[in-house]
Chains A and B, each alone.
Chain A
């Protein structure tokens, strides 16, 4: 079972306490944007086999959204950080690189 540390409460929350919210750090495109951009924003996810940045909500706890870095091939969790972070923070990137030397932030 997946366990994430909620960056707000600081407690280790297991999967049953959390609600998954899909890929993180999406760039949003709205009315007036190009068809290709709008399609990509709505449907074309990374769906990476490996390091994946994603949104979770501490639904049965503090109720807040947070972000996490997780490996979809091993279910390893690299770390969590607040939802207001526009891109993966340095310490998370370092934690991933320590275990996945070949990985690069795309």
Chain B
């Protein structure tokens, strides 16, 4: 594969840009792979990439029901941060955030990581105390965050209305090296890198069954025929429960819809990410100028990738009080994704009751930020049987009551 560079662009400019290769191959599936990953989203592709890069396992296929990066990877609001309360969470999210810093160079693909800073507003007394606690925890974990005053909030984000009557801004948890990245590029970059080291990415192919012999996985059935495998990684987010059922076990997961929307593009008005968890809204401005807005998840099980009007109304109503400038904006696009929620709002990266089957799921409303760290940990778990980053996120924590409770620290928004 030819590397992307300024010289490559110049060279292609002389050839009318007709010499670009496809970024990844679309091969026919082989009869057997050492490892099959189900789900070619960010987490699945990152798992495959680090299996190859860190552990030398390259006879790998990534199988995708739809198109690559077409699920939650292409539907999130692209926020990257690692200001979590619990130590295992801070470790894996900070690993991910630090990998994002150099991901473009690592993959030779511009993922447009923009560490513009993430601000989580404290709008009640409880939130002030909660975020101060998180800032102290982050200091001990080595994650750079600080609790800042309303004046500093206004300096960093001038369009904010500090003294809204219902939800005044009383301070914020500020992570200067948090930010955003281009979500599609993260999937595409990993896919290109995986394809380059000889892995097969097989799109438009659904996994319909998991073949087992004596409690051990031996292969999968797909819409393009059976494929034998040594190990199987299920990395399918909202459909984790469906895939687990096909493999013969149940997961502590419920699938609900989470929605987001973007406005018409406007001139630059904010260069930070602002999250307001009390009112279930968060906003940033994309490079195109659109205001990217996310809200809370629906409260009922849903697989339709559609949202509901009233949730959008609630989100926008609250954000208009904090950002009066957006009140006249037209909204351009609005979409939903199916997120996999666990009871403690922390992910599951674990072995399963079926030998050789591993799951990476439960990222809920905040998986995008974790993609590189999640892939790193899942690859290590699949290659070696355990991983310092993943061990705390095992499935048996629910039976043992060993929760990694981020439901308060993470709030609803990610």
Contacts and interface: CB of A to CB of B under 8 A. Distances in A.
Interface stretch (B144-152, B247-255, B271-279): B247-255
Nearest to B310: A16
Contacts of B54: none
A59 B303 CA distance: 24
A39 interface: yes
A72 B343 contact: no
Contacts of B242: 49
A73 B310 contact: no
Contacts of B223: none
Interface in A41-56: 42-49, 52, 54
Contacts of B399: 35-36, 39
Interface stretch (B188-196, B294-302, B365-373): B294-302
A15 B254 contact: no
Nearest to B249: A44
B300 A20 contact: yes
Interface residues of A, number: 26
Interface in A8-27: 15-16, 19-20, 22-23
Contact of A73 (B241, B252, B304, B308): B304
Nearest to B240: A47
Contacts of A45: 252-254
A44 B399 CA distance: 10
Contacts of A43: 252, 342-343, 398
A1 interface: yes
Interface centre among B242, B301, B306 (most CB of A within 10 A): B301
Given A1-B310, A15-B308, A47-B241, A42 B299 contact: no
Nearest to A36: B399
A22 B301 CA distance: 8
Contact of A54 (B251, B253, B300, B342): B300
B7 interface: no
A47 B255 CA distance: 7
B239 interface: yes
Contact of A44 (B251, B304, B309): B251
A1 B253 CA distance: 24
Nearest to A47: B241
A80 B242 CA distance: 25
A84 interface: no
Interface in B215-256: 239, 241-242, 250-255
B301 A39 contact: no
Contact of B303 (A35, A39, A72): A72
A8 B399 CA distance: 38
B308 A44 contact: no
Contacts of A39: 252, 398-399
Interface of A: 1-2, 15-16, 19-20, 22-23, 35-36, 39-40, 42-49, 52, 54, 72-75
Given A20-B299, A45-B253, A47-B251, 8 more contacts: A19-B299, A20-B298, A39-B399, A43-B252, A44-B251, A45-B254, A47-B301, A72-B304
